[in-house]
A = this chain, B = another copy of it.
């Protein structure tokens, strides 16, 4: 990434304003309001560059494609709506998960919690 283009700015802007993890097609949809002729390939290219630069991180979900969110948020988890498939942020964390002891000798480095249900706009 050497030049500043409206396409890349749009991708980053969309991730900032939506403030939740977005899939590449979701990014495309929203960003086309800013750059009408934006193509999916450019979205993928921009994501790749932002991942390398560390401005964006990927969020993996069970049975869903990769989504991407702005780097630098504090530890948080996610809520997936089973109707609209939108992913939301959930602040807070139960902490050490002592209630969930792994088998003897296993080293837990990371925990991921995903809440599933129905979001407020689908309720």
Contact = CB atoms under 8 A, between A and B. Distances in A.
Interface in A68-116: 77, 79, 82, 88, 90, 92-95, 97, 99-116
B66 A79 contact: no
B115 A102 contact: yes
Task: Kindly list the 4 A-B residue pairs having the minimum CB-CB distance in the complex, ordered from nearest.
Answer: A60-B62, A60-B63, A105-B120, A94-B99
A94 B90 CA distance: 17
In the assembly, how many copies of this chain are there? 2
A100 B93 contact: yes
A106 B82 CA distance: 11
Contacts of A35: none
Interface of A: 60-63, 66, 77, 79, 82, 88, 90, 92-95, 97, 99-120, 123
Contacts of A88: 102-103, 106
Given A105-B123, A106-B119, A113 B90 contact: no
Given A97-B113, A116-B109, A79 B103 contact: yes
Contacts of A115: 97, 100, 102, 106, 108, 110-111
Contacts of A66: 63
